[in-house]
Amino acid sequence: MKNMKNMKNITLIILSGMLLVSTSCNKYLDVNKDPNTATSASVELILPQALAYTAGAVNSLNTMGQQIGGYASNAGGYGGFGTSITYNYTSSEWSGVFNASYDILNDYQTIINKTRNLPNYNYFHGVAQIMKAMHYQHLVDAYNDVPYLDALKGSEVLNPSYTAGTVIYKNIAGSLDAAIAKINTGLANVNVVDLGVSDVMFGGDVVSWKKLANTIKLRILVRGRGKVTFSNSTFSSDGFLTSDALVNPGYTRDNGRQNPKWSSWGWSYTGTSGNKAWMPTFFAHGFYTGQKLVDSSRGKALFYNYPSVTSCNQLGNESLGVASSPDGSFWFPAPAGPLRVGTSAGNSIGVLKGPDAGLPLITASESYFIQAEAALYGIISSITAQAAFDNGINHSFNYLYSLPNKTLVGNPSALAATYKVDNASSPLVNFNLALTTEQKLEAIITQKWIALNMVNCDQSWNDYRRTLYPKLNNAAGATKYETFASLKSESTRPDKLPTRILYPSSEGTYNPTNVPKGLSPFTSLIFWAK
């Protein structure tokens, strides 16, 4: 593939206006058209826009998972938490998960349609298929049944039927195989159009795209195990992700061009503080401070001035004694000083890092933990469960201790080794002490939960609903370190948690015949959930 000189600068120029385009789900419903504005675009321009929108959607999913999945609780000095602490969700909560996903899916489908009979554009076609599969997995994991077979057909089908989540899982696993095949066909074509500057995640490296496809498929097979009969349970020889899949269309400290996680939790481009209404849970903090495990290195990389300045709460506790979140939130670790102040903040380790950092779709750490579970159940044999488990921990340290430019700070490998020594007596860290399959599963999912803290929290919520790990204790007398369930929970479940969000009200208005009805956030399960 060609070496694209000045790729980053060109990408930034291309996307400088793109990131300012409205992300509203109404962009496909505009009636009045400006004759001086383009009504179509090349796939070279659609792809980077779509990937940037995907990053925004993943950031929203992370925020949802952060609240539901036990990482964040309500901070002091704020009110109106409502269903965030009762879990009694209505169709108004998290509606963007549904609407934004289909908005973005239309972009990827447009690429697929435009390149279907263009062999020179096999790379673009394959990449769009991969991203389409990823978004559909997100939708199934949130809602179960969603429009699929009849969806993305524009005016041809205005009221698409809903397809069972199990069917979608089977189909998108197959579509990932087809995407890899499409890319391989492109590799054999000397006239194939390189992804070039349009690829704002892997920089045109199609092998990395194939690894991403394998990794998404593996996550699908692991999550659908025993529930879905897949047509093909093998993987291409390209392997799975061993590095972080980071979207970066040229993020920088400017209006509409910052990393969306930074804008949400750090500062605006003008230096105004982001979301201050949330703070860490005692449950999450206990994995660092010794209540459950000792992990000062990741604690220092994750939390503001850990441990002395990091305050915690249990979700639902609204007493006046709850601390307020500082400017930049508790999840920006830099100590007081230039790195912590407004428009000077950034260039840090941790999960926020800075306005110019790439946003992770899947980290190497998550990939290895998926492989660990897959190896545990015999889905793959390319790596042992223990080796993948240890790699998952190691890469979690690598991710936290990397700067926005991906430079590692200090020696994260040594820090990971110290972590394993400090917790050598715990089967949650020392895999050799996990003797049964269930104990090994608990170790894998718990470590993945720790690794995804404020990174991709929705994936942890998915895993909890599927495995009930990390283990919670809601019995009388349980401490605030033993459960992340809200004190104001209205859930009827033993764990006092919700099990899903509800379809947006727009589906009840515009697709009333097909949208499933009578669902409960406490009893209506995703097909793979317990």
Sole residue written with tokens 């496809």: 213
Q: What is the pLDDT of residue 19?
A: 37
39 has pLDDT over 60: no
Confidence of residue 311 (pLDDT cuts 50, 70, 90): very high
Mark 122-159 as b/e (b = at least 16 C-beta within 10 Å): bbbbbbbbbbbbbbbbbbbbbbbbbbbeebbeeeeeee
- Beta carbons of 362 and 201 less than 8 angstroms apart: no
Report, in this order, helix, strand and coil percent for the chain, each rounded to 5: 45, 5, 50
Q: pLDDT tens across 363-421, in order?
A: 999 999 999 999 999 999 999 999 999 999 999 999 999 999 999 999 999 999 999 99
Q: What is the pLDDT of residue 331?
A: 96
By C-alpha distance, which of 292, 285, 255 is closest to 271? 255
- Record the tokens describing residue 221, joined without a space: 């097979």
Parent domain of 206: 7-22+42-266+277-510
* Distance separating alpha carbons of residues 94 and 46, to the nearest angstrom: 26
What percent of the chain has pLDDT above 70? Answer: 93
Confidence of residue 15 (pLDDT cuts 50, 70, 90): very low
What is the 8-class DSSP label of residue 408?
B
Confidence of residue 461 (pLDDT cuts 50, 70, 90): very high
Q: What is the pLDDT of residue 335?
A: 80
Q: Given its phi and psi angles, is residue 478 left (phi above 0), alpha (psi -120 to 50 degrees) or beta? A: beta
* Distance separating alpha carbons of residues 66 and 261, to the nearest angstrom: 12
The answer to whether residue 523 is domain-embedded is no
Question: Per DSSP, what are the bridge partners of residue 46?
Answer: none
The answer to whether residue 527 is domain-embedded is no
302, 398, 445 from 366: Cα distances, Å: 17, 12, 10
By C-alpha distance, which of 299, 324, 137 is closest to 224? 137
Beta strand extents in 324-467 (DSSP E only): 359-362
Q: Calculate the average pLDDT of the chain.
A: 92
CA atoms within 13 A on the CB side of 299: 20
By C-alpha distance, which of 173, 191, 332 is closest to 261? 332
- The total of structural domains in the chain comes to 1
* Distance separating alpha carbons of residues 484 and 467, to the nearest angstrom: 16
- Beta carbons of 360 and 246 less than 8 angstroms apart: yes
The answer to whether residue 176 is domain-embedded is yes
* Distance separating alpha carbons of residues 472 and 461, to the nearest angstrom: 13
The answer to whether residue 173 is domain-embedded is yes
The answer to whether residue 327 is domain-embedded is yes
Residue 7 CB burial class (10 angstroms; 0-12, 13-18, ≥19):
middle
Sole residue written with tokens 């105004």: 272
> Averaged over 311-333, what is the pLDDT?
93
CATH number, residue 117: 1.25.40.390
What's the distance, CA 384 to chain centroid?
Answer: 25
The answer to whether residue 30 is domain-embedded is no
The answer to whether residue 420 is domain-embedded is yes
> Averaged over 508-524, what is the pLDDT?
97
The answer to whether residue 349 is domain-embedded is yes
Written as one string, the DSSP assignment of 101-112 is HHHHHHHHHHHH
Q: What is the pLDDT of residue 7?
A: 37
> Averaged over 106-130, what is the pLDDT?
98
Q: Pairing between strand 245-247 and 359-362?
A: antiparallel
470 prior amide bond cis, ω within 30 = yes
- Record the tokens describing residue 5, joined without a space: 């000189």
Sole residue written with tokens 């990131």: 19
Q: What is the pLDDT of residue 6?
A: 38
Q: What is the pLDDT of residue 336?
A: 75
Give the Cβ contact number of residue 257 at 10 Å. 22
Q: Pairing between strand 162-163 and 245-247?
A: unpaired
* Distance separating alpha carbons of residues 338 and 353, to the nearest angstrom: 14
* Distance separating alpha carbons of residues 318 and 85, to the nearest angstrom: 10
177 has pLDDT over 90: yes
Q: Given its phi and psi angles, is residue 44 left (phi above 0), alpha (psi -120 to 50 degrees) or beta? A: alpha
338 has pLDDT over 90: no
> Averaged over 162-183, what is the pLDDT?
98
Torsion of CA 105, 146, 371, 438, to 10 degrees: 160
What's the distance, CA 114 to chain centroid?
Answer: 28
> Averaged over 30-58, what is the pLDDT?
78
Q: What is the pLDDT of residue 30?
A: 35
One-letter identity of residue 89: Y
Q: Which residues contact 242 (CB under 8 A, 6 or more apart)?
A: 211, 364, 367, 368
By C-alpha distance, which of 430, 428, 357 is closest to 399? 357
Confidence of residue 339 (pLDDT cuts 50, 70, 90): confident
Confidence of residue 334 (pLDDT cuts 50, 70, 90): confident
- Record the tokens describing residue 212, joined without a space: 């991403």
Per-residue HEC secondary structure of 455-483 comes to CCHHHHHHHHHHHCCCCCCCCCCCCCCCC
Q: pLDDT tens across 206-246, in order?
A: 999 999 999 999 999 999 999 999 999 999 999 999 999 99
The pTM for the full model equals: 0.93
What DSSP element (H or E) covers 245? strand 245-247
315 has pLDDT over 90: yes
Residue 518 CB burial class (10 angstroms; 0-12, 13-18, ≥19):
exposed
